[in-house]
């Protein structure tokens, strides 16, 4: 088995674990508690990834296009392209949209039988990436979600252009 295939199998095993863990917490304590703990844990991981990406990409441009590249690097580190189908696009001078047409996490939660009460922690993930990158968001919201049957998750992140504002 190739190293890449072994890595993919490891990702799948961990995501299956996470989905089953979520289901166990939801059964014992309810979906509200499972969603809260899941979002908290993912935000922690996302902030860690954001710090690592910031450290690796210090030379990247400080403009919105450089920030888009850093968000893309965060997405790739947390959800490798083999496990997702998505893009990060600049919509305006201070607005970035992340689009996910396929998300392995939603697939695994669906396979574990917990999609009904599952709430996507996407905005918590983006808040974590932003904190790790040293970026303040003035807007962080979903405008579409695979979990709710939309063709893609669409997430808007508006960054504070001037930290003094």
* Sheet-wide strand order for 137-144: 84-92, 95-103, 153-159, 137-144
Question: pLDDT by residue (tens digit) across 20-33?
Answer: 888 889 999 999 99
pLDDT of 79: 83
Question: pLDDT by residue (tens digit) across 66-81?
Answer: 999 999 999 988 888 8
Pairing, β 84-92 against β 95-103:
antiparallel
123 contacts 156 by C-beta, under 8 angstroms: no
Q: Which of 16-20, 50-54, 116-120 has the highest mean pLDDT?
A: 50-54
pLDDT of 165: 47
User: What's 42's DSSP letter?
Assistant: H
Mutual angle of helices 122-133 and 64-78, in 10-degree steps: 120
What's the CA gap between 104 and 80, in Å, rounded? 10
Burial category of 153 from C-beta neighbours within 10 Å (exposed 0-12, middle 13-18, buried 19 and up):
buried
């Amino acid at each position: 088995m190739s190293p890449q295939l072994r890595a993919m199998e490891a990702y799948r095993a961990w995501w299956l674990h996470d989905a089953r863990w979520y289901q166990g917490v939801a059964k014992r304590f309810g979906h509200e508690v499972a969603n809260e703990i899941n979002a908290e844990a993912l935000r922690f991981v996302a902030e860690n990834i954001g710090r690592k990406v910031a450290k690796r990409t210090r030379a990247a441009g400080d403009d919105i296009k450089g920030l888009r590249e850093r968000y893309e690097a965060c997405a790739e580190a947390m959800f490798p392209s083999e496990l997702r189908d998505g893009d990060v696009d600049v919509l305006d001078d201070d607005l970035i949209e992340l689009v996910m047409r396929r998300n392995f996490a939603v697939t695994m939660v669906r396979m574990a039988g917990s999609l009904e009460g599952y709430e996507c922690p996407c905005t918590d993930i983006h808040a974590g990436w932003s904190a790790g990158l040293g970026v303040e968001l003035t807007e962080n919201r979903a405008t579409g979600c695979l979990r709710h049957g939309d063709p893609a998750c669409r997430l808007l992140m508006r960054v504070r252009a001037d930290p003094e504002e």
